Every structure is written in C-alpha cells, then in structure tokens.
C-alpha cells in the first residue's frame, strides 16, 4: 500500500465501465487511469462518483427482465441500491484516479507509458484482439506487467457494416487462449502465471442457468520491447 500518488505504480484499466474496479484499486494505493469509449458508461460513472449523500442514492431492479430459468418469481423484483459507497468520502483515492473517454486501440499514442495494464473481461470485447494486444504492448513500459482476467467470448463474431461507407468491417481473428499466449510471447511478454477460474458473470441468485465462464487469469511481464 503506497499512499504517495507520485511514486505508486500507474495502472491503465481499459473498458473500465462504471469505474468500480478502478475505485477498489485506488483504495489499495495505486494510481489508475480508466479508459472507456462508451458515452453511457462515462456519463453514469461521473454521476455515481459525485453522489454525496445517502438520500441521493437510487434503486434499480436488475433482474426484472430475466423471465426464463427463474426459480421464484418474487425474486424478479429484488432491489439494489446504488452506490453502496460514496467516492467523495475518499478524497485520497479520487486523487489517484483519472478518467479518459477514448477508443483504446485507436488512441494509444495519447497514453503515457504505464507500469501495469489490467484487462478484466475486455480483450474479447475489442473489435480486433490483435489490435488490443499490440496496444497493451505499446502503452506498457519496458518491464511492465499485463494482468488479464476473462473469457474469449468475442463480441464481434459477425462482420459489421460501416454505415458511412457501407462497407463490411472484419471483426478480426478468433484466437484460442493458447494463441493469445503465443502472440503475446512473440511480442516479448513472459508469462509468470496462468490459470483457469470458474467465474459467474452478473450472477443471478434466482437463476436455474447461471452465466458461468471458465475464465483465464494470467500475469505477464514485458521482458523485451523490440516487437514491430
């Protein structure tokens, strides 16, 4: 735990969503820059991080549309109050956080070099996973660390259509996990840890069919930065 904001390691967290993971990392003592291209996520993050009082919280019903594989119908109306913590009560943590609204693989030159890149349920959400991996390589310092956790669900399996040019856009290659490791090693990463972990995604306690992944957790150090 390092409370010195100028010397603690700098972490880049792409696909940061509503910023909860960044907030938790900041509480440990790291400096974190979040990155998310979604205007919806960024605007909601700004709102959540500026709620000051318990009477400013609001209630959501996240399970109300889950109409299949339900054990008990009354659980559809289970409420959740957000936020459960108030970031403004943690000024030291907020001083460690910065937020950017950019597309990760396109604006890589805008980033400074980071000590750590942390990807959580992210690399398969990029349109092209090779672009994602080379961007991670690009923004890390020599000797920096890439920590990854998540599946290879690939959100861009089908080609998209660019409405401006009416052209199909390739979703990029669908790599297996061993191919992800191989490509990263070719770039100069050396993996120090690899394991598979049973992981529930958005767990619904009332569901007869939980969304379960055998997610990959890996830690790799960038030993050789000469890839081009």
pLDDT tens digits for 14-65? 999 999 999 999 999 999 999 999 999 999 999 899 887 777 888 999 888 8
pLDDT tens digits for 100-115? 888 888 766 666 689 9
- Listed as own residue / partner, the contacts of 128-131 with beta carbons closer than 8 Å and 24 or more positions apart are 128/156, 128/170, 128/171, 128/172, 128/173, 129/154, 129/172, 129/173, 129/175, 129/180, 130/172, 130/173, 130/175, 130/183, 131/105, 131/172
Confidence label for 168 from pLDDT (cuts 50, 70 and 90): very low
pLDDT at 4 over 60: no
pLDDT at 114: 94
Confidence label for 228 from pLDDT (cuts 50, 70 and 90): low
This model's pTM is above 0.85: yes
Gap between the Cα atoms of 220 and 44, Å rounded: 32
C-alpha distances out from residue 215 to 118, 121, 136, 140, 148, Å: 15, 9, 19, 23, 10
pLDDT tens digits for 120-166? 999 999 989 999 999 999 999 999 999 999 999 998 765 555 555 54
């Amino acid at each position: 735990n390092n409370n010195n904001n100028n010397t603690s390691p700098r972490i880049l967290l792409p696909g940061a969503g509503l910023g909860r993971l960044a907030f938790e990392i900041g509480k440990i003592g790291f400096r974190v820059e979040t990155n998310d291209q979604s205007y919806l996520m960024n605007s909601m993050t700004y709102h959540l991080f500026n709620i000051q009082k318990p009477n400013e919280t609001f209630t959501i019903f996240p399970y109300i549309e889950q109409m299949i594989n339900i054990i008990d119908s009354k659980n559809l109306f289970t409420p959740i109050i957000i936020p459960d913590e108030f970031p403004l009560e943690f000024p030291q943590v907020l001083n460690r956080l910065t937020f950017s609204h950019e597309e990760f693989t396109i604006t890589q030159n805008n980033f400074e070099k980071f000590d750590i890149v942390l990807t959580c349920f992210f690399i398969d959400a990029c349109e092209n996973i090779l672009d994602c991996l080379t961007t991670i390589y690009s923004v890390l310092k020599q000797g920096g660390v890439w920590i990854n956790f998540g599946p290879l669900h690939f959100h861009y399996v089908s080609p998209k259509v660019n409405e401006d040019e009416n052209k199909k856009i390739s979703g990029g290659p669908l790599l297996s996990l061993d191919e992800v490791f191989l490509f990263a090693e070719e770039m100069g990463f050396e993996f120090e840890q690899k394991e598979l972990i049973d992981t529930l995604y958005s767990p619904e306690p009332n569901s007869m069919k939980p969304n379960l992944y055998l997610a990959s957790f890996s830690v790799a150090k960038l030993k050789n930065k000469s890839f081009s």
